[in-house]
Every structure is written in structure tokens, then in C-alpha cells.
Amino acid sequence: MRYTSRIRWALFALCCFAPGLFAGDAPGGYHSDEAWGYKVRTPQGWTEAALSADENWIASKFLGKRELEAKNSQYWTRETPEMWVIGFPHARKEEVGARKVDRGDYDEIQFDAPYKDYKDFIKRNKNFLSWEGGGYFFSKEEETEIGGVPVTQYEIKMEQMVNTPRRVVAWVYHFEDIDFAIQFKIIEDYFPEFESGFEGCMKTLKRVKRTKALPGASRTGSKIVEEIDIDRLPPEERKKALKEAVERKFKREEEALPKDWKIKRTKNYLVLYNSSDKFMNQMMSHVEVVRDHIEDLFGGVGADYVPPGIVRIFASDVEQSAYHSSTSNPWGIVRELSIVEGHGWEKDNAYESINRGIFSQWLYYRNKLLDQNMPGWLSSGLDKYFQMVRTKGRRITFSNEDWGRDQMRLSIKKGEYVPLRDLLSSGVWDAAEASGNEAEVISGWQRHSQAQSVVYWLMTEGNRGKYKGIVRDYLSTLIVIVEEAEAEYQAKMAKIKAEEEAAKMAAEEKAKEIDDESEEIAEGEFDAGKRWEEMAKAFKEKRAEILTQSFERAFTGWDDRDWERFTKAWVNHAD
């Protein structure tokens, strides 16, 4: 009896004081991954972060249970420590080089550049180390052995040109078929406190039997060709193929979710979330109303099928940030929308973000050509309109919070605006951003803000009388112009490609005549610089043609007086 009591007291003491051996967060339970084939202990209380099913290299991420406030920092900084497991299959190292893919009117060169090792991964993804940028260096690199497995131990310091110094510690296990890197990142102030706990986790990595396929694709640099191939199909076949591709994507994303995440299907979206059910339901009710509103406003701009999308709702911005620190392709077959649960201004931010995403995603599928060639003033203005949209039940309302409105009023009082005829016929912000000239950039952003104000007015209070439906009518004209300009542009591109092929064939014939390989190379060189200049020129001509022709046709019959009244009506509204 006395012996049993001693055992109980010993176990009690171990439970109470063993965590104290680790100043930070002590090792907790094992995380096992049967797709990558490993298991490792994670710190107590840390949560698994969501990853895209298209993630190729990062096997798992875990987030600390609390934010840490930097002590040695120029500005106030709070950050959550992170644990990553990164896999480097040896077979992927062979997939290196360039491949030419025939796209009909042009050739697309796809580069495959798998990571060589952990150091290469860090070099090419240094933004993962710190959102501030800055420099980093490997302060430690030592070879050792754990359980008979060769291990390289690294430490990375980020101290130069950063507001907050950070430390990364990583152990890379070298197995016969794969290298696994277990990496921890933390604010430098807290590294000594957490170091022993991190090491306690890193030394626990073990292999387990793989029973699932590896997630993601096998190449880092390859583009998603599935989407481009689908675009070439006839409408009905394209719709069928797109539906099937989207369902495959949905299934993979559902399977890749952490255990504490939930799934819901709505009319137009797959919802993946770890936020509260209340927030998710409120947001998705809003999302579906906005989607219907877009169909009512612009359903006639195209006939292409718009597939269901993915909305990912995070419980915190820390989790959202961790999700987007990824090597996966954000422009795949399904464009995700992501927001963070919040209240007050944070909820307003969620509305603004999701609204703009809904419209962007919808237009991309309904009329991709229009989406890619919309004039800057209209694109900017519609972005502002949807930024302001709110819902009440099934009714569309608008936010009263608009700091840009006050800025616009001030500009009007100073006379810092342009007549609307000049605004709607100019692509000044495109030129300004490209030039780098400070005065032009400022001018461009002023016009950008004015365009937002004008389009918002035309979509709301100005959508009556002479100006009723003006945006929709302009879009109808624009679609015709875009199709004409695109056909002319593709003809120019085909001519450039034909000239290139002719030059190569001529060089090959000449080389055969003189039977000299070096001469073939010299004579066969095609002026790539000239080719790119011609392609850039053709693109600029297309953009200019779209802007000029759509303006002239949409506002046929308008005289100077009409434009003066138009500008005055907007000024009276905005001032």
C-alpha cells in the first residue's frame, strides 16, 4: 500500500514538474502524416494550420498557442511562433529543366526547378522568414546523427534591416528516399526560453508507413495547364470538364483539412472554416446575395459557365497568414476567397475583401477576355462599388464608412480633378505606374480615386435619368471592342511567330548547304529582343485601341455641353 502511494506521488510530481524542464512550450502528442510518411511530436497546445491541397513541399504547419510581444523592437510587434515540417523527396530532384508546350498561337515555356535541399528552399522563399523582408544568415550548420539517421542542424538569424529580430532553428533528417526538415520560427527575444522545447520536439521525428498519395503536384515551377486546356474546349464540353475539375479540387481540399475544421456547401460555394458557425452563416448568407446581385447587374456580359468557388474562413489572421505562406499555386482551377472572423471594423474588412473577390472570380469565368482587358478607370470603379456593398436580408445596402469620399471632396475644393471626358478616355494610371515618375504616379492615383468615385456614383445615385444604365451600356460596347481588338492582336502574334519560324527554317537550310554547325548557330539566331519589342508593341496597341474605340462608340453623339453637365453632376454629388 505504501509502495503504491509512492508510485502515485512520483507520477503526480512528474506530471506537475516535467513541463518545467522546458521553459517554453513542452513537447505534446504526436502528429502523424500517412501521406508523407512521418510522425513528430508538436508543442503542447499548438494547433495545426490549414494547408492547400496543392501544397508541394510543406507537409504540415503548427501555430503557437499565444502571440508573443517583441521586447527588442523599434515598433510594437506581436507574432505567433510557428513549426513547419517540410519534405524534399529525392525523386523530385530529377525533374529539372525546361519544357515547351504548344499553345496554338504561341509556345509556352514551363520551367521545373525543384528545391535542391533545405538551404535552397530558404533562399528561394526568404519572405517566409519575415514579412518585413531584410537579410538573414545561417549562424549554425552542424552534422550529427539521431537514431542512426544523419541529421543537419541549422540556425538562421534575421537581424539586419528588420524591425524585429527573429530566429529559425531547423533539423534536417536525411533518409534514403527523402529529407525531412523540422523548422521552428520565433521572435529572437523568446528563443532562449523556447529552445529546449523546440529541440524536444525535433528529436522525435520517426518514419511511418505511407498509405496515401503525396499531396500537391510533383513540380515547383510548372503552371496549371489543366485550366488552359479546358479553355480550348467548345462551351458545353468546357462546362462539363470545368465541373469535373472543380469537384476533384473540392474533394482534395476537404481531405486536406485539419481535424478541427468544418465543411459546408452552399448554392455557389464550398465553405471550409474553423470560425464560429454564427459568423460563417452570416457571411455566407451575405456572399450568396452579393453573387445573385452580380448576376442581376452583369449577367449579360458573357455566356460562359461560372463554377462554384471556395470560401475559406479563418478564426484568426495568424492562421490566414500561415495558410498563404505557401509554395502552392494561388491561380489554379479554383480561385479561393479567404477572410478572417472579426467584429466592428474587422468585419467591415471581411465584407470588403470577400465582395471584391466574389466579383473578380465571377467575371474571370463569365468573360475572361473582358476581365483581362477592362479599362483601368472601370476596373478601379467597380472594385470600389463592390467594396461598399452590404446586405440586409436579401436586400442590397451600402456602407457609410468611406474615407475616400472625404479625400475626394478635398480634391474637388482644390480643383484637383479632371473633366470626365478626359478621365474616361485616358489610361493615365497605367502609364504612370510604368514610368516611375513621381509626379505622374501621384496624378495617376488621383485619377484612380476619382474613377472610383465616378463609377460608384453611376452605379448608385447617378443611375437615373440621362445616366441610367450608363455603366452597363458601356460594358456592352466594350465587349464588342475587346473581341475585335483581341482578334487583331492574335493575328499580329501569329505573324510574329510565323516570321520567327521562317527565320529558323532559313537558317537550317543555309546550315545544310555549308554543313557547318557553328554557322547554323550564328545564322539561325532569331532576334529575341526584337521579337519581344514587337509583342509588347502589339499589346500596347491593343490596349489603346480598346480604350479609344469603346469610349468613342459608347458616347457617340455627346457634345461639349453634355460632358460639362456630366462632370458638374458628378461634382455636385461628390462635393
pLDDT one digit per residue (tens) for the chain, 575 residues: 444 444 444 444 444 434 444 456 678 799 999 999 999 999 999 999 999 988 889 999 999 999 999 888 777 888 999 999 999 999 887 766 555 544 444 444 455 578 999 999 999 988 888 777 778 999 999 999 999 999 999 999 998 888 889 999 999 999 999 999 999 999 999 999 999 999 999 999 999 999 888 876 444 433 334 445 677 788 899 899 899 989 999 999 999 999 999 999 999 999 999 999 999 999 999 999 999 999 999 999 999 999 999 999 999 999 999 998 887 765 566 778 999 998 777 888 899 999 999 999 999 999 999 999 999 899 999 999 999 999 999 999 999 877 778 888 888 888 888 899 988 987 655 554 445 555 555 566 778 889 999 999 999 999 998 899 999 999 999 999 999 999 999 999 998 888 888 887 887 777 777 665 554 444 445 566 778 888 888 898 998 899 999 999 999 999 999 999 999 999 998 87
CA torsion angle for 546, 299, 405, 450 (degrees, to 10)? Answer: 10
- Contact criterion met (CB below 8 Å) for 453 and 498: no
Q: Long-range contacts for 116-119 (Cβ within 8 Å, ≥24 apart)?
A: 117/88, 117/172, 117/179, 118/86, 118/88, 118/152, 118/154, 118/170, 118/172, 118/179, 118/181, 119/154
The DSSP output letter for 556 is T
Instruction: In whole angstroms, give the CA distance from residue 307 to residue 302.
Output: 14
Instruction: In whole angstroms, give the CA distance from residue 500 to residue 528.
Output: 9
3-class secondary structure for 422-489?
A: HHHCCCHHHHHHHHCCHHHHHHHHHHHHHHHHHHHHHHCCCCCHHHCCHHHHHHHHHHHHHHHHHHHH
Pick from 33, 37, 58, 32: nearest CA to 210: 37
Name the grid cell of 148: 542512426
- Contact criterion met (CB below 8 Å) for 451 and 443: no
Pick from 341, 352, 335: nearest CA to 290: 352
Domain ranges of the chain: 17-207, 225-366, 404-575
Pick from 44, 72, 272, 57: nearest CA to 163: 72
* Fold of the CATH domain 17-207: Protein Transport Mog1p; Chain A (3.40.1000)
Cβ-based neighbours of 228, under 8 Å, separated by 6 or more: 103
The DSSP output letter for 189 is G
Instruction: In whole angstroms, give the CA distance from residue 520 to residue 507.
Output: 6
Instruction: In whole angstroms, give the CA distance from residue 409 to residue 415.
Output: 10
- Identify any residues that bridge with 139 across adjacent strands, giving them in sequence order: none
**CB atoms inside a 10 Å sphere around CB 493:** 17
Three-class SS state of 2:
helix
**Nearest 5°: CA angle at 319, between 315 and 320?**
90
Three-class SS state of 201:
helix
The dihedrals phi and psi of 394, each to the nearest 5 degrees, come to: -95, 5
pLDDT recorded at residue 452? 92
C-alpha distance from residue 134 to each of 71, 141, 470 (Å): 19, 21, 48
The DSSP output letter for 180 is E
Give the distance between the most distant pair of CA atoms in the chain.
105
**CB atoms inside a 10 Å sphere around CB 422:** 13
pLDDT recorded at residue 77? 86
- Contact criterion met (CB below 8 Å) for 149 and 169: no
pLDDT recorded at residue 13? 43
Instruction: In whole angstroms, give the CA distance from residue 319 to residue 324.
Output: 9
Instruction: In whole angstroms, give the CA distance from residue 424 to residue 458.
Output: 13
Pick from 263, 269, 223, 225: nearest CA to 246: 269
pTM for the model:
0.81
Radius of gyration from C-alpha coordinates of the chain: 29
C-alpha distance from residue 123 to each of 154, 166, 250, 551 (Å): 14, 16, 32, 48
How long a stretch of residues is the chain? 575
Instruction: In whole angstroms, give the CA distance from residue 135 to residue 130.
Output: 9
